[in-house]
């Protein structure tokens, strides 16, 4: 079992550059992956994306890869003709729309073609620089999610054990509930008909009431759902979505048991079961 929350970071100084990689994630129904690279390395995104999707199934994952080169032999030039063309165009727009003609320098130099560099980017070189760091950070990130997942697993199994106790309690009370129905029906017939009460009629009505109000089937299904949840927790490496579905099924059975019951002790246990189930549901949202 793995948590959907995790974090890892590493920064390393190489001969002519500093490389840093950061990976962090939070809960999400699906895999929502964002990879942030320097613009000149955007073509490497698919390479890193493929490495991640092989290891991670769910979560909102943000990756930040930065390179700070210590020395650069690149020649930076400014194209003043293009800059003036942008300046004149911006002034015309400002005058025609009534906006201020005060134009910040940062706006001009951010336009395409104004600032140029003759630096060439060797993708193979950058891959060799980044890939080892990225692989280590990804490994640490998965370790962090796995460690948190083990803590979630322990907590979920403790809460699930409480639900098993609730189910056993309901099973213990089932005969008492059925006996109470029988006594109520006999009492009602005797009250209305006295000595004329037909024993066969009483038995028939009792059977009909038991079919309507017995919780035997709900208890059987509840135990089955709890067994399924335990199996998912122990054996499914990515049980998050399945756990959410099973929680819905368990909730349905608990609600039905509560609606068929008239004993204060059972009502109290239904409340305990629902609270425990809600805690499980909340925790399962963190599970991959």
Share of the chain above pLDDT 90, in %: 53
Do residues 57 and 96 both lie within one domain? no
Q: Is the pLDDT of residue 196 over 60?
A: no
Residue 193 in tokens = 């008909």
Do residues 175 and 195 both lie within one domain? yes
pLDDT of residue 98: 76
Task: Provide the domain count of the chain.
Answer: 3
Q: Is the pLDDT of residue 192 over 60?
A: no
Q: Is the pLDDT of residue 190 over 90?
A: no
Domain-terminating residue out of 131, 147, 163: 147
Show Cβ contacts of residue 230 under 8 Å, excluding neighbours closer than 6 positions.
157, 160
Lowest mean pLDDT among 128-132, 165-169, 200-204, 267-271: 200-204
Task: Determine the number of helices (DSSP H) and then strands (DSSP E) in the chain.
Answer: 8, 6
Measured in degrees and rounded to the nearest 5, phi and psi for residue 206 equal -60, -45
Residue 27: band (very low, low, confident or very high) from pLDDT cuts 50, 70, 90: very high
In a domain, residue 1? The reply is no
Is residue 117 classed as helix, strand or coil in its secondary structure?
strand
Lowest mean pLDDT among 50-59, 75-84, 108-117: 108-117
Per DSSP, the residues of 172-228 read: HHHHHHHHHHHHHHHHHHHHHHGGG--HHHHHHHHHHHHHHH--HHHHHHHHHHHHH
Do residues 104 and 168 both lie within one domain? no
Do residues 156 and 232 both lie within one domain? yes
In a domain, residue 32? The reply is yes
pLDDT of residue 177: 76
In a domain, residue 211? The reply is yes
Burial of 208 (0-12, 13-18, 19+ CB in 10 A): exposed
Handedness of CA 235, 240, 241, 242 (dihedral sign): positive
Query: What b/e readout covers 177-205, taking b as 16+ CB neighbours within 10 angstroms?
Result: bbeebbeebbeebeeeeeeeeeeeebeeb
pLDDT of residue 123: 82
pLDDT of residue 211: 63
Q: What is the mean pLDDT of residues 204-230?
A: 82
Domain at 45, CATH number: 3.30.230
**List of E strands, 74-181:** 76-78, 115-117
Do residues 49 and 181 both lie within one domain? no
Measured in degrees and rounded to the nearest 5, phi and psi for residue 213 equal -115, -5
Show Cβ contacts of residue 225 under 8 Å, excluding neighbours closer than 6 positions.
246, 249, 250, 253
pLDDT in tens, 31-42: 999 999 988 888
Lowest mean pLDDT among 7-11, 40-44, 52-56, 104-108: 104-108
pLDDT of residue 118: 59
Handedness of CA 228, 234, 240, 244 (dihedral sign): positive
Range of the domain at 19: 6-72+122-147
Do residues 180 and 190 both lie within one domain? yes
pLDDT of residue 40: 82
Do residues 65 and 174 both lie within one domain? no
Do residues 128 and 26 both lie within one domain? yes
Do residues 33 and 106 both lie within one domain? no
In a domain, residue 259? The reply is yes
Do residues 10 and 143 both lie within one domain? yes
Q: Nearest to residue 21, comparing CAs of 36, 2, 6?
A: 36
In a domain, residue 113? The reply is yes
Handedness of CA 228, 163, 244, 240 (dihedral sign): negative
pLDDT of residue 227: 97
Do residues 141 and 181 both lie within one domain? no
Measured in degrees and rounded to the nearest 5, phi and psi for residue 11 equal -130, 135
User: What element of type H or E holds 60?
Assistant: strand 59-69
pLDDT of residue 194: 59
pLDDT in tens, 81-119: 998 898 888 888 888 887 776 778 887 788 888 887 656
Do residues 48 and 112 both lie within one domain? no
Query: What is the chain's mean pLDDT, rounded?
Result: 86
Is residue 108 classed as helix, strand or coil in its secondary structure?
helix
């Amino acid at each position: 079992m793995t948590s959907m929350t995790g974090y890892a970071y590493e920064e390393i100084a190489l001969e002519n550059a500093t490389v840093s990689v950061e990976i962090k994630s939070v809960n999400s129904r699906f895999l929502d992956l964002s990879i942030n690279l320097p613009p000149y390395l955007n073509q490497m995104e698919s390479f890193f994306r493929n490495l991640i999707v092989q290891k991670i199934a769910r979560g909102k994952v943000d990756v930040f890869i930065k390179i700070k080169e210590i020395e650069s032999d690149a020649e930076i030039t400014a194209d003043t003709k293009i800059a003036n063309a942008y300046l004149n165009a911006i002034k015309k727009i400002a005058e025609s729309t009534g906006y201020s003609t005060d134009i910040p320098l940062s706006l001009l130099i951010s336009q395409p073609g104004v600032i140029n560099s003759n630096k060439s980017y060797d993708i193979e070189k950058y891959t060799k620089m980044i890939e080892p760091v990225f692989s280590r950070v990804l490994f640490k990130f998965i370790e962090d999610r796995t460690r948190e997942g083990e803590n979630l697993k322990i907590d979920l199994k403790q809460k699930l054990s409480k639900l098993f106790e609730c189910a056993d309690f309901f099973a213990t009370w089932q005969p008492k509930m059925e006996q109470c129905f029988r006594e109520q029906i006999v009492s009602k017939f005797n009250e209305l008909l006295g000595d004329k009460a037909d024993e066969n009629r009483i038995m028939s009505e009792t059977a009909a009431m038991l079919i309507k109000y017995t919780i035997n089937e709900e208890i059987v299904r509840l135990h089955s759902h709890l067994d399924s949840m335990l199996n998912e927790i122990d054996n499914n490496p990515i049980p998050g979505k399945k756990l959410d579905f099973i929680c819905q099924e368990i909730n349905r059975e608990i609600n039905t048991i509560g609606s068929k019951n008239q004993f204060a002790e059972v009502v109290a246990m239904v409340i305990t079961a629902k609270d425990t189930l809600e805690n499980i549901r909340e925790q399962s949202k963190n599970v991959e």
